[in-house]
Structure 1
Amino acid sequence: MKATEILRSSSAPNALFESFSTSSAPSISMAAPRGVYAESGGGGRALDEDRERNADSPTDKKYRAEKSPPSRWEFVAALGVFLSFSSALLFIYLTMPAADYNILKLPRTLADLRLLKDHLGSYARHYPAKFILGYCSTYIFMQTFMIPGTIFMSLLAGALFGVGRGLFLVVFNATAGASSCYFLSKLIGKPIVVWLWPEKLRYFQTEIGRHRDKLLNYMLFLRVTPTLPNLFINLASPIVDIPFYIFFLATVIGLIPASYITVSAGLALGDLKSVKDLYDYKTLAVLFLIGSVLLFPTLRKSKASV
């Protein structure tokens, strides 16, 4: 009798433990979702909040490549702006003095450029003001809507106006067109840039965050050297929150060296065999040397901070 009672008393805790383990014990998974430990303590929740805060910070912001074209509204807005610019440009051409419009076309080769230069030489001398208006309108239009061929327009400026006036016209038109492209991209450009250059945009955002303290020097370096295409810089700058005054100053100053090379080559247009001859290894080395001098304050500040 005593033995039976002893067995019953010894098995009661085991039964109690089994009932607790099958009914009351919470199950803990090794693959718990994010934030599952926040209910049992504040450490997990603080860690999650820090991660979310870092992910949303301006310097660590990542542009996820959403492979989707611009929306219908953005397409309609871009088309409306393009038609407005086109109408203004057409009005300027229709009000200019008569000319042979079969020859007036955007040059695509050096042969086209030489033919256009020979035809426009006398026209520019007889109607200088109207010619400059038409030239500037065309250049700004091409720069705003990323139409290839502005390098031929820069060569034409050197051939028709010389180095001094030609350089002024090229820098003025390139800056005006780049500024117009900046504001157009600020309005509707983000989905286009994210769609076309997601990786390049992410790299650009990271570099801007690194050089935020000396942003003007870094932008001058990008303008002087062919590190990134000017087309991409014009479109991506408002997206990565580059202030317009820095964008404007970097464009005005940074485009002078390359524009000088192109305008000077326009003086010897007949001897130029290819556009690639404009930027040989010697010219590129000079541009990168100038850009390195402009970037030096940024590099020195980075080493000091490290």
Structure 2
Amino acid sequence: MSRRRLWIVALIVALVAAYFLSGADEWLTLANLQAEQSRFQAWLARDPVTVIGGFFTIYVFMAALSLPGAALMTLLGGALFGLGWGLVIISFASSLGATLAASIARSLLRGPLERRFAPQLERINAGIRREGAFYLFTLRLIPLFPFFVINLVMGLTRMRLRTFYWVSQLGMLPGTAVYVNAGRELGALDSLSGILSPGLIGSFVLIGLFPWLARALVTVARRRRLARRFDRPARFDYDIVVIGAGSAGLVASYIAAAVKAKVALVECHRLGGDCLNTGCVPSKALIRAARLAAEIRSAHRFGIDAGEPRIDFAGVMAHVRRAVRQVEPHDSRERYEGLGVAVMAGRACLDDPWRVRVSGTGGERVLTARHVIVASGARPRLPDLPGLDRVEVLTSDNLWQLDALPERLVVLGGGPIGCEIGQSFARLGSRVSLVQKGEQLLPREDPDVADSVRERLEREGVEVWLETRAVRVEPGDTKDGVDLLVAERWLASGKIETRRLAFDRLLVAVGRQANVEGLGLEALGVETREDGTLAVNEHLQSVLPSVWACGDVTGPFQLTHASAHQAWHATVNALFGEFKRFRVNYRALPAVTYTEPEVARVGLNEREARVQGIDYEVTRYALSELDRAIAEGRTEGFVKVLTVPGRDRILGVSIVGQGAGEMLAEFTLAMTHGIGLDKLLGTIHPYPTWSEATKAAAGQWKNAHKPERLLSWLGGYFRWRREGRRNA
């Protein structure tokens, strides 16, 4: 750190310390200010220049150093100087102090942060150059964050301080006026009965209503800015145009049609999206066939010897495709047109926030809509791996076209898709090697959960390579050549072990990337996040008020039910947002990995709780204690419940074992509706069922929190009943 920065830091620390050591923070209370008001008024009458100058300087000092008490100083200014002069003095003082705070943050931190996080900050600064002034204005008008946070954060950007000053001056003016007026009314109190005066009540009602009024003002301003940039249609063909007919787009269309809105649904490929055609449905059909093969192999444990199953892989894939065809009518064009949705085949591109150009076999047409919902989904991501383009790569998209079982399958990626497909192919007879860059499989799960899956995969013959980095692909050079994946792994000794994994087919399952290209969003100023997903707010609205997004294209959870959850919020907020908006909440969002043992989770796990600094208590119940699990010979796994320390409120649940996803539903219901473990324990569960694991886990929590003192008293009472009365 430079000497100049050290001097600035030392000065700031000294000033802040002096503020708190002097007791100024304790003196700045409403009661003290009211008690001293008469002295201030007398002083102001004698020497107005000193009082006004001193007040102005103190206010600037407090705002510049982000010290507490600004709200009370604003009330005091209203009481001392009245609405007119108070508004002028405080408006300029607060804006000048905010600009100094931004300047201090810029001098101390911007340089080092830009050197370390240059790509990320460049994206932010690009947005600041384009929409920075209006964004700052909305933050000032509707303070989602404390003003001192806005000052410090905006100081780290490339916004000009002159722009920062005048936007802050303008944006804070309405709120300052409301508080100054409230201070003027408080200053006029001469008795407790004055609290019920219409002026004071009106001032505080205005404070309460101001955020809503400001939000309405910002909405109108945004619409006018859009109307100036683009030619807004005088009338619209549709209320909503939905781009993409995957799980998110279908749910959005269904909801909009159900409330009698006019909806158009545009899809360039197949209705049903990944879930129906390449994801949930085909993968679960494959997993079921592979699980049946594993059950036949292990049937001897139950006294039934069926021998080694004969795998007809073409028949397995026929079963997979049959399952897709049977589910297909649920997502068909005929069904949605019957619901009143206009279904169109073609590629969609936004010409402006209200016009969607659809290009298909029948030519082009432009649809106008009050709102556009982008639900274009995602596709498998291919890593930048030398030699990968020289072999035919399998992904979760094209895997279902296989008709022959690969003898050697290498799976790159140890997330849910890699683990599910890798285990299934191993059970069907492939020799599977699974390569994972991280230190565990299923990186979002706790280590004990991931270890359970790894141990089962290894028992079933899957070679699991953890902390192993793929380096390149070496295609076979001759007719009988062998394709190889070259990978490196760091050993405990510090040496690098190089492995050459031979494969007949290579499955890449390292994640998915959002489908945002070709939609015209970038030209309209709709930004993407660092991971490539569309940037939206907590209501799923983009920077353009008429453009919304849901599903895999915006994340953060690429799950069918998460997409449906988001689609409800995006559609309802688009149609009825002028009256009420709903923030999307992921607190009780469940997720299941369909390996064996199955892995299911809702809410926080231990890893996430530690990262977020949330205190928790763990209750663990082993399925080896469950009668149904013992009877079926499926004792592998556990139920792990995280609760608030000393309370039965559920923070999260992780389940490993047979039917984990089904068992999770009761916990998900409990978290959604605020039901604690005590009430789950008091619920009757049929015996013997897997659902009893829920009650058993709640019972373990209850046993760990039993009232020992009360039980001790009860022991004494019963002893007295047994012995005391007889002796009497």
TM-score bin, normalised by smaller chain: 0.5 to 0.7
Distance change in 2, residues 1:228/1:244 (3 Å): same
- 2:129 touches 2:159 (CA, 8 Å); kept in 1? no
Amino acid corresponding to residue 230 of structure 1 in structure 2: F
| Alpha-carbon distance between aligned partners in 2 of 1:235 and 1:147, rounded to the nearest angstrom | 13
| Alpha-carbon distance between aligned partners in 2 of 1:293 and 1:205, rounded to the nearest angstrom | 30
Distance change in 2, residues 1:103/1:231 (3 Å): closer
Which of 62, 79, 90 aligns to 1:159? It is 79
Offset from partner CA, 1:176-203 (integer Å, 9 cap, x none): 1111111111111449999xxx9xxx8x
Cross-structure match for 1:37 = none
Amino acid corresponding to residue 216 of structure 2 in structure 1: L
Within the alignment, does 1:293 sit opposite 2:210 as a pair? Answer: no
RMSD: 3.9
Within the alignment, does 1:249 sit opposite 2:142 as a pair? Answer: no
- 2:138 touches 2:218 (CA, 8 Å); kept in 1? yes
- 2:141 touches 2:174 (CA, 8 Å); kept in 1? yes
Amino acid corresponding to residue 293 of structure 1 in structure 2: V
Offset from partner CA, 1:33-57 (integer Å, 9 cap, x none): xxxxxxxxxxxxxxxxxxxxxxxxx
TM-score (norm 2): 0.26
Cross-structure match for 2:146 = 229
Amino acid corresponding to residue 253 of structure 1 in structure 2: L
Query: Per chain length, whose mean CA-contact separation is higher, i.e. which structure has more relative contact order (CA < 8 Å, sep 6+)?
Result: 1
| Alpha-carbon distance between aligned partners in 1 of 2:77 and 2:102, rounded to the nearest angstrom | 24
Offset from partner CA, 1:3-24 (integer Å, 9 cap, x none): xxxxxxxxxxxxxxxxxxxxxx
| Alpha-carbon distance between aligned partners in 2 of 1:260 and 1:118, rounded to the nearest angstrom | 23
Distance change in 2, residues 1:256/1:217 (3 Å): same
Amino acid corresponding to residue 261 of structure 1 in structure 2: V
Give unmatched runs, 5+ long, in structure 2.
Answer: 190-194, 230-351, 355-522, 525-728
Within the alignment, does 1:146 sit opposite 2:66 as a pair? Answer: yes
Within the alignment, does 1:79 sit opposite 2:10 as a pair? Answer: yes
Offset from partner CA, 1:94-152 (integer Å, 9 cap, x none): xxxxxxxx999874332122113222111111110011111111101100101110111
- 2:99 touches 2:165 (CA, 8 Å); kept in 1? yes
Which of 126, 135, 142 aligns to 2:55? It is 135
| Alpha-carbon distance between aligned partners in 1 of 2:107 and 2:43, rounded to the nearest angstrom | 38
Cross-structure match for 1:219 = 136
- 1:218 touches 1:294 (CA, 8 Å); kept in 2? no
How many positions carry a matched residue from both structures?
Answer: 215
Cross-structure match for 1:124 = 44
- 1:193 touches 1:235 (CA, 8 Å); kept in 2? no
Cross-structure match for 1:303 = 353
Offset from partner CA, 1:246-275 (integer Å, 9 cap, x none): 2111111011000000000012114369x9
| Greater helix content | 1
- Give the drift of 1:73: 7.8
| Alpha-carbon distance between aligned partners in 2 of 1:267 and 1:230, rounded to the nearest angstrom | 22
State the percentage of identical aligned residues. Answer: 22
| Alpha-carbon distance between aligned partners in 1 of 2:162 and 2:223, rounded to the nearest angstrom | 21
Distance change in 2, residues 1:192/1:79 (3 Å): farther
Within the alignment, does 1:258 sit opposite 2:189 as a pair? Answer: no
Distance change in 2, residues 1:191/1:164 (3 Å): same
Distance change in 2, residues 1:167/1:107 (3 Å): farther
- Give the drift of 1:295: 3.5
Cross-structure match for 2:156 = 239
Helix, strand or coil: the match of 1:268? helix
Amino acid corresponding to residue 34 of structure 2 in structure 1: R
Amino acid corresponding to residue 181 of structure 1 in structure 2: A
- 1:221 touches 1:295 (CA, 8 Å); kept in 2? no
Which of 93, 96, 100 aligns to 1:180? It is 100
| Greater strand content | 2
- 2:12 touches 2:65 (CA, 8 Å); kept in 1? no
Amino acid corresponding to residue 130 of structure 1 in structure 2: T
- Give the drift of 1:303: 2.7
Distance change in 2, residues 1:72/1:184 (3 Å): same
Amino acid corresponding to residue 157 of structure 2 in structure 1: V
Cross-structure match for 2:474 = none
TM-score (norm 1): 0.59
Distance change in 2, residues 1:205/1:144 (3 Å): farther
